[in-house]
């Protein structure tokens, strides 16, 4: 693959999946895009779709059955190393990617930011040019959705974790703060 490609939720999650039952939100509350990494081996092509479907199944399964009980996949989108943007959770739905608020925000990042995850372990692998280009495209689409420039943030800025990976965080810090 040599260009960024967008794959709709119906293709990624599957058209037969039930509608989500998660809390909605007003797009006026969205202030930015928060980046994560899945800390998993790199998945591309159809393997990325299978990975996203598996993650969806785990996220919707009740906690009593070993799932997360989120009602939907936690991220609004996922990005592959070969430049695919996998549309996962509707932008109109509050995320399930980071409960902590970013500094300066009263609400959780689930409410104030769209969550996007690189499908990779970004502590071991550097994102490809196409993956970073896909992030740029996603940020632009989010800008169009909200009608305003959105800030770029990453998980460890709100919650001290290794996410989005030691090799990705410095790259994110070098990107424009708003698109």
Task: Read off the CATH number of the domain in which 144 is found.
Answer: 3.40.80.10
Q: pLDDT tens, 136-149? A: 999 999 999 899 99
Q: pLDDT tens, 34-76? A: 999 998 877 666 688 888 888 888 888 888 998 888 888 899 9
Tokens read off for 177: 């703060």
pTM for this entry: 0.90
Give me the DSSP letters along 56-95: HHHHHS-GGGTS---SS-S-SEEE-TTSEEEE-S-TTB--
Whether residue 127 lies inside any domain: the answer is yes
For residues 153-176, give the mean pLDDT: 94
For the chain, what is the largest distance between any 2 Cα atoms, rounded to a whole number of angstroms?
43
The side-by-side arrangement of strands in the sheet containing 5-7 is: 5-7, 84-87, 77-79, 113-118, 32-37, 151-154
Whether residue 19 lies inside any domain: the answer is no
Question: Residue 170, class by beta-carbon neighbours within 10 Å (0-12 exposed, 13-18 middle, 19+ buried)?
Answer: exposed
Domain extent for 35: 5-14+25-174
| Number of domains composing the chain | 1
Whether residue 179 lies inside any domain: the answer is no
Whether residue 167 lies inside any domain: the answer is yes
């Amino acid at each position: 693959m040599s260009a960024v490609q967008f794959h709709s939720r119906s293709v990624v999650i599957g058209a037969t999946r039930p509608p989500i039952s998660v809390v909605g939100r007003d797009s006026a509350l969205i202030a930015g895009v928060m980046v994560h990494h899945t800390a998993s081996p790199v998945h591309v092509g159809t393997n990325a779709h299978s990975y996203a479907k598996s993650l969806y199944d785990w996220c919707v399964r009740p906690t009593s059955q070993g799932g997360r009980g989120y009602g939907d996949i936690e991220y609004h989108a996922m990005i592959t190393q070969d430049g695919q943007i996998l549309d996962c959770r509707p932008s109109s739905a509050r995320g399930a990617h980071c409960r902590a608020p970013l500094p300066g925000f009263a609400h959780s990042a689930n409410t104030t930011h769209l969550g996007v995850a690189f499908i990779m372990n970004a502590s071991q692998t550097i994102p490809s040019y196409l993956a970073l280009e896909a992030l740029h495209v996603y940020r632009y689409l989010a800008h169009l959705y909200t009608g305003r420039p959105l800030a770029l943030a990453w998980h460890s800025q709100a919650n001290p974790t290794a996410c989005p990976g030691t090799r990705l965080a410095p790259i994110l810090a070098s990107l424009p703060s708003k698109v």
